[in-house]
Structure 1
Amino acid sequence: MANQQTRGRVTVVGSLNMDLVVRAPRLPQPGETLAGRTFAQVTGGKGGNQAVAAARLGAQVAMLGCVGADANGAQLRDGLTAEGIDCAALETGTQASGVALIVVDDASQNTIVIVAGSNGEVTPAMIVRHEAVLAAADVVICQLETPPDAVRAALAAARRLGKTVILNPAPATGPLPADWLPLIDYLIPNEVEAAALTGLPVESPEDAAKAAAALRAAGARNVLVTLGPRGVHATLDGAHAALYDAPRVEAVDTTAAGDTFIGGFAAQLARGASVDAAIRFAQRAAALSVTRAGAQPSIPTRAELDAPA
């Protein structure tokens, strides 16, 4: 593991999307046409967001994924490169680049519809081709916006290589395969995902504790349930469960808050920070991100977090 004085290395295996973002007074009802206020096109995708977050928050980052041979793909690649992210394992597929249609309301809540496109071309064979970027990492991050067989291949390779493995199970539609859990060091769902993984309601920190306990009983090593403004419930291997209160801020847009948390947490672990310190740092980064509009444009830098208040 990297020591506190080094940047640490993070490899992200996952999705890249072009985000098409509309701001509206409220979220539309089924069958309703609603007038929006503004439109923006920005680079995103959970994998891309988490890679950018980890890079801005102090890690050396490599991205393993797939974009299309189109203008969106070029912009997605260029955006990562501009952040200093190694794109040697970012392949170009045959399908169009992934897109996400996002509506953000005046309460800063959002709905997201994703079209996977080239993200669906990430395969186990691609993981094998680029195993060197996994081997070079201290921490490996995966999500669920790429095909499950590729995700499992990445988890298994990272575990075999002795890396710290993070899975952000998003989007979650049901329980994870049982053989995935032993491959994961940190399982980090939000409350909606924790409910999908366990079949339990997760509407409070107490519910999050029950869901985390169920996931631990199923084989998860460490479970962090992110609860937005209510904080993070952490159930850790060999330690008591704890609720980490979230910093109080005025939210503008929550789109990439979870991705910012994941990237910040991974960056801190990669440089040798304790889990406690990594959680608190990641919470501060996520809190700052929701005070700004957009996905990747909202993600702060380490210098911003280290600056005197």
Structure 2
Amino acid sequence: MKPKITVIGSLNMDLLVKSSRFPNRGETILGESVEYFSGGKGANQAVAASRLGAEVTMIGAVGDDLYGDRLKEILKKDQVDISSIKTVGGESSGLAIILLENADNRIIVIQGANAHCTKEDIDLNQAKIRESDIILIQMEVPLETVNYAVSMAKTFNKTVILNPAPAQELSDDLLQKVDIITPNDTELRLLTNKKTEGYNFNQRIDMLLEKGVQHVVTTIGSEGSVYKAAKQELITFPAYQVPVVDTTGAGDCFNGALAFALGRGDSITDAIKLANKTAALSVSKYGAQSSMPTLDDVREFEKNLNYKK
């Protein structure tokens, strides 16, 4: 049976600008090319889970501009249920400007209609949340909506995965309701206070666990990921050797795959292993949603695994 996942989050049009290097402050340089891709953390994660085989519902908002219908149609082609995505009149769709230098990126996100994903939208989709196995949510919609959605999910005893990106201060009340939090290394530092310089992964993760989160999975880019649960030892999951073309969306791919694997009943360690493989495959292609692999792709990859040394 397909796992049922509800993703609550953003939909953006990604404007990908490639250049040989990033400009310095006040500097203008010539870029190499520009491309448009559908994106947004929520939509990316929805596509990642759907391509692996999950039954995915997306809750979010788009504008009534030229991008809104396009963003929904692209999701629909990937078998994502778009009936819970609303169109906000007089508002632009979310936009992400991605500067790409070789395999490194810097991203500026403009919320647009994503800022209009409200508590009322969560209420309207209560039935879909109740029917889901996993609720996957990020921070590109209002924090008030995130808090409300997490609280509702827990009243139905649903597993909540919170991808705290972009990172911001989170209340202890919210963290106590989160089953799994998935910061990258930068977000982990921000969540545990910049003043704690010198703290290692283990200490920072313990700070989140002490606030009530059940599981912390931290992605560390080309080094793989680390995982820890309360009163357990830190487990490291190494990365894989792959040709890196574009890291945009790799974290979203990881989260979508993690939700899929947990939804089908995998242990959390097995789910992290699948997520690592899936994310590794995603960086070998340009774009966020366009780079998300299928389960068949992952199985083919597994035949010739090559851990990074």
TM exceeds 0.5? Answer: yes
TM superposition score normalised by structure 1: 0.94
| 1:238 to partner: Cα distance | 5.1
Q: Write the distance in 2 (CA, Å) between the matches of 1:131 and 1:255.
A: 31
Partner SS for 2:176: helix
Q: Which residue in the other structure is 1:220 paired with?
A: 213
Q: Deviations over 1:159-218 (max 9, x none)?
A: 111111000000013x311110111000000011111100158999x8222211111112
Query: Aligned AA for 1:177?
Result: S
Does residue 294 (structure 1) correspond to residue 284 (structure 2)? The answer is no
Query: Aligned AA for 1:60?
Result: E
Q: Which residue in the other structure is 2:83 paired with?
A: 88
The answer (yes or no) to whether the contact 1:27–1:110 under 8 Å persists in 2 is no
How many percent identity over aligned positions? 38
Partner SS for 1:183: coil
Of residues 49, 53, 59, the one that matches 2:54 is 59
Q: Which residue in the other structure is 2:97 paired with?
A: 101
The answer (yes or no) to whether the contact 1:292–1:298 under 8 Å persists in 2 is yes
Q: Write the distance in 2 (CA, Å) between the matches of 1:256 and 1:85.
A: 17
The answer (yes or no) to whether the contact 2:176–2:211 under 8 Å persists in 1 is no
Of residues 213, 222, 229, the one that matches 1:236 is 229
Runs of 5+ consecutive residues of structure 2 not aligned to the other structure:
305-309
Q: Which residue in the other structure is 1:280 paired with?
A: 273
| 1:239 to partner: Cα distance | 3.2
CA 1:276–1:46: 2 relative to 1, 3 Å: same
TM superposition score normalised by structure 2: 0.94
Q: Deviations over 1:3-60 (max 9, x none)?
A: xxx2211100000000000011112222111211111011000000000001011211
The answer (yes or no) to whether the contact 1:201–1:207 under 8 Å persists in 2 is no
Query: Aligned AA for 1:300?
Result: P
Partner SS for 1:294: coil
Runs of 4+ in 1 over 4 A off after TM superposition: 200-204
| 1:111 to partner: Cα distance | 0.7
Partner SS for 1:180: helix
The answer (yes or no) to whether the contact 1:194–1:202 under 8 Å persists in 2 is no
Runs of 5+ consecutive residues of structure 1 not aligned to the other structure:
1-5
The answer (yes or no) to whether the contact 1:9–1:137 under 8 Å persists in 2 is yes
Structural mapping, 1:147-186, within 5 Å: 147-173=142-168, 175-186=169-180
